[in-house]
Amino acid sequence: MEWERIATPDAPAAIGPYSQAVRAGEWLFVSGQIPLDPATGQLVDGGVTAQAERAFRNLQAVVEAAGGRLENVVKVTLFLTDLSHFDAVNQVYARFFTHKPARATVGVAALPKGALVEVEAVARL
């Protein structure tokens, strides 16, 4: 199967040997996006709400770089370092994903760069 690597300067560069996303046919697989400011490469300040907002904006930038929209997202996985942040992240999530794709939320011990939230997605373009 042929596939295409997706990269955009509007989202943080990958911090390891992986792609921001890969398009395989009509499917887009977006790597985990953490709340790094793409201009500075630094984690955003402001707590979990600000971090969720930035992570979702980074995800949106990658999806749009592949020619899609957030409405094309069919599956989202959220990673939270503290599940007590679930409601706060849900409020931000609801603004970005009004079409309610399938989703899983996973509590994790730690995330890269000390992030509180990470989001990955699968979209059909």
Residue 105 belongs to domain with CATH number: 3.30.1330.40
Domain span holding position 43: 4-124
Residue 61 class from Cβ within 10 Å (0-12 exposed, 13-18 middle, 19+ buried)? middle
Residue found under tokens 């979990």: 48
As beta bridge partners, residue 121 has 30, 76
Kindly report the backbone phi and psi dihedral angles of residue 2, in degrees, each rounded to the nearest multiple of 5, phi listed first.
-85, 150
Domain count within the chain: 1
pLDDT tens for the chain, residues 1 to 125: 799 999 999 999 988 899 999 999 999 999 999 999 999 999 999 999 999 999 999 999 999 999 999 999 999 999 999 999 999 999 999 999 999 999 999 999 999 999 999 999 999 99
Nearest to 78 by CA among 60, 98, 102, 99: 102
The vertex-107 CA angle with 58 and 21, nearest 5°, equals 30
β-pairing, 102-107 with 4-6? unpaired
